[in-house]
Structure 1
């Protein structure tokens, strides 16, 4: 047992410990409060130096407007002398140099000039971090403060700043490690491959393997749904950066107001809602690969910043003057015609040339021949595990329909078609069998209305129904191919849908369960083109 002094115990039970700071601003404010208790003065300020500009990060005794000011060292002689000083520097009351805090000290009925001030440079990690300043309205007040006392306060503040810098570094490192962990999990999770043996896919894989080992910037071009993200994953996996993060950004999903912050990060207070420092995707991808999907959707202002990063390898966070060096391999992708976007002034020509150092074109599914069936096998394998089904298999008529379809939505459309078909097939009552057959009736291709499935019933489970006509209402003229018959059915169905909706393609697209842009492409292919939608 230990004896406890009664006086000490009384103090400990009556004195509340200050709450732990939760942000850098609170930590700075606590450091200033300690400095002001040690040195009697009217105002004290902590200013951080970046690129020749002193930014107040905390003040005590000064107007809040001080926090919004930025003091260029070259424009403020007193601050310039403090920056150049080796230790504590005092200014006499009659010093002719203008004081940056004149009229900013709190508690005055009128704007009064500062008559007594001193300050000192602050060093963290061997570099000049900024300044600590003390000011009073009454001349001679600071003369009674010993220089050794001020130096002790400076050492205290420097220790606190070093702790803040360490915490910042830890947070930044933690964010990078989290990004790396997510990238590692993504890279080591069961990933889809670039399946297919068509000549177009063989050429694409050969091109990927050629450029992967280099650090050249790659621009992946292709229609929506062709698998541009899989190309970026293969590029990264075959590169020398494979053990570093692959960070992916969907530029089309970024609000214009946040795109800058998402890519380059920001400093606290850079804009409304910036309540803390944030590391951008470029810094998170340092040493690895950054995949910019749908790069053609970036605002012009962000395009200009992206160009600077690609040229210099330096990132500047909004709200900060400090440049951060990054080593990132950029892979960009778009389904837009960037040449047309350049002509319309929506995309920078210089950025295009920076991105398209090595362009890769991903072929659409309609140009890949029987790769459709290879991909279908992969999707059905995924679905049978997801649905708990046994051996999902494509019936011959279903295979023929898949091969005949134009696939305006490419591989993504094929995936969705087969997911729906698998669900319909598994939901049907049937006799026990060694496999579940995906029939033509289960596949609702774009433009064809889905067929109603029979409701399960005990009777249906015992007595099989006659097989339905695999292509109801389709003409079967002599010599007509399956693709021609399918297109004829699609044409008649769309014409009827447009008639039901007073010729409005958007409503017909909704009834067909299709994206508007894909629906308009189908209209053009079938010779039913209408005025394309705005936007």
Structure 2
């Protein structure tokens, strides 16, 4: 490799350090430059978070990799790279399993045969890893490759530091005029890079810094509880408790006791005095899940607490003052509940100070594979498998499904599919690599119904041609779905004179995802 080649790859990155770029674009350019320098089939940037590594950017790996979380104890190659503290290469015959086996986004062998990586240091501490993988043995055999990666890591660290600084400044700008506390991460992340999720994350950051009550709405299975956790974690109350209560799971005769507490003898079985959820959440946050299930009398008593912070335990006349931020969630249309007389208007407006609408998975098409990757890695870790991946047909099936059950449906679907795939291998030793196909996800009837539902929904696109009712595919469901996708994408590109951006807007896809889909379908502009 010539000096001019190296300079041509590195100089734009140095110039980028002074540019106003999004974190996503800055890291994408970093990995693109690395692939120009070194002959890798795939590169990745992973951030160290306790005992886990989280992919921040990828190039050449399947999209679901971004949703995965790699536990160091289960991935000895990553652990060795962190321990080495410098660039190192694993021999093609290394017995250590490669975390990216089956995840390189190109046809060919499933296993990675050559890989190297290095630690990124920020402020003298390990920030994460930069990894390169190749399907061909000996691709990185030249000692100069290792030296070049070590040198590149310094520029990569500067890029990462710049991206983090820009992100911190953006957070400070959003929180101007407020006192922000330490943000503790929720048990599960609120994953998503689609436009709808990015807007939701911006709204969460905005309202979290305030003391406003929040009403989270959305279909069942969209992750409303995760949104509540994120609001609390980014608020000034994050060091205090987040207390949750499922209003739908409580009998009417126990709701008041659970919320406000009770004194001894207040009712049969009340053998001692007990504080309620409001007092337990003092100076913190109370999350009222399924708030639309509360009865009108309970709503009236809750309204008094929301207005004044004063409550009385059941059976007591003594006042207790609480300082609680309330976050409520529901899958009902509460405005309609008010019109129907099932909810008090004053109670509804007291909760609905700042509404957060959680998008359905159907509105987050580009997030489906990212979320699938997260659940795949969870199942791989739980079942102690060497590798777990989706084949191309399974990825296509996930992207075309209608998702009436949203993220929860996806999570359960992946778990069932993994068990189904394992059961087909008999009672012998588990395979090192498990590949899920479309048939593992759904049986033929359910799969066809899901595809037909997605087709029917997409016909409403502006300018789309009227399609006949779907017939039983002659060549098989996978071929029928691919043919339908080919026709839809080709027609959209033709209508917009080959403009990827315009076609992506019409098809409600990210432009990069549309281009990848078109490439897989063999479509050229």
Scaled by the length of structure 2, the TM-score of the pair is 0.50
Deviation string 1:117-145 (CA, Å, 9 cap, x unpaired) is xxxxxxxxxxxxxxxxxxxxxxxxxxxxx
**2:307 corresponds to 1:308:** no
More relative contact order, 1 or 2 (CA 8 Å, 6+ apart)? 2
CA distance in 1: counterparts of 2:361 and 2:271, whole angstroms:
46
Q: Secondary structure at the match of 1:262?
A: helix
Structure 1 residue aligned with 2:374: 378
Structural mapping, 1:102-501, within 5 Å = 191-429=187-425, 434-444=432-442, 448=446, 474-476=473-475, 480-481=480-481
Query: In structure 2, what is the equivalent of residue 88 of structure 1?
Result: none
Distance 1:328 1:447 in 2: 50
**Residue aligning to 2:509:** none
| Residues 325-360 of structure 1: per-residue CA shift (max 9 Å, x gap) | 000010000000111111111111111100000000
- Measured in 1, the distance between the counterparts of 2:441 and 2:262 equals 49
DSSP-derived class of the 1:321 partner: coil
**Residues 366-400 of structure 1: CA deviation (Å, up to 9, x unaligned):** 00012000000000100111111121101110111
State the distance in 1 between where 2:338 and 2:407 align: 28
- Cα deviation, 1:280-322, whole Å, max 9, x if unaligned, reads 0000000100000010011111111111100011111110111
In structure 2, C-alpha distance between the alignment counterparts of 1:483 and 1:351, rounded to whole Å: 52
Q: Is the 8 A contact 2:245 2:287 kept in 1?
A: yes
Distance 2:363 2:474 in 1: 27
List 4+ stretches of structure 1 deviating above 3 A: 187-190, 430-434, 473-485
- The secondary structure found in structure 1 opposite 2:365 is coil
**Separation (CA, whole Å) in 2 of partners of 1:268 and 1:364:** 45
| Mapped partners of 1:392, 1:234: distance in 2 | 29
Instruction: Tell me the distance in 2 between the aligned counterparts of 1:265 and 1:387.
Output: 42
Deviations 1:189-239 (A, max 9, x none): 872111111000000000000010111000001000000000011101100
Instruction: Output the CA distance in 1 between the equivalents of 2:192 and 2:381.
Output: 22
Equivalent residues of 2:215, 2:355 under 8 A apart: yes
Deviation at 1:475, TM superposition (A): 4.4
Q: Distance in 2 between matches of 1:189 and 1:210?
A: 17
Native 8 Å contact 1:264 1:315 kept in 2: yes
Alpha carbons 2:260, 2:275 under 8 Å: kept = yes
- The DSSP-based 3-state class of the residue aligned with 1:223 is coil
TM norm structure 1: 0.49
- Please say if residues 387 and 423 of structure 1, whose CA atoms lie closer than 8 Å, have aligned partners that are also in contact: no
Write the distance in 2 (CA, Å) between the matches of 1:446 and 1:290: 44
Inter-CA distance 432–318: structure 2 relative to 1 (3 Å threshold): closer
Pairwise CA RMSD of aligned residues? Answer: 2.7
User: What is the alpha-carbon distance in structure 2 between the residues aligned to residue 446 and residue 210 of structure 1?
Assistant: 45
Partner of 1:248, secondary structure, is strand
**What secondary structure sits across from 2:335 in the alignment?**
helix
Q: Is the 8 A contact 2:184 2:234 kept in 1?
A: no
Task: For structure 2, list consecutive stretches of 5 or more residues without a partner in the other structure.
Answer: 1-182, 449-471, 486-525
Q: Secondary structure at the match of 1:448?
A: helix
CA contact (8 A) 1:225 1:409 kept: yes
Larger radius of gyration: 1
Give the secondary-structure state (helix, strand or coil) at the position aligned to 1:414: helix
Structure 1: distance between partners of 2:302 and 2:412: 34
Q: How many residues align?
A: 278
Paired residue secondary structure (2:215): strand
Deviation at 1:448, TM superposition (A): 1.9
Q: What is the deviation of 1:423?
A: 1.0
CA distance in 1, matches of 2:380, 2:304: 48
Whole-Å Cα distance in 1 between the matches of residues 237 and 185 of structure 2?
18
Q: Distance in 2 between matches of 1:475 and 1:246?
A: 55
Q: Which runs of 5+ in 1 are unaligned?
A: 1-186, 451-472, 486-535
Cα contact 1:404–1:483 (8 A) shared by 2: no
C-alpha distance in structure 2 between counterparts of 1:238 and 1:301, whole Å: 33
Q: What SS does the corresponding residue of 1:345 show, helix, strand or coil? A: coil
1:244-281 residue CA offsets vs partner (Å, 9 max, x unmatched): 00001011101111011100101111122222111100
- Distance in structure 1 (CA, Å) of the matches to 2:483 and 2:310: 54
Change (3 A) 1:474 1:254: farther
Structure 1 residue 436 displacement after superposition: 0.8
Task: Tell me: CA distance 1:400–1:373, structure 2 relative to 1, closer, same or farther (3 Å).
Answer: same
In the alignment, which residue of structure 2 is the partner of 1:84?
none
1:386 counterpart SS class? helix
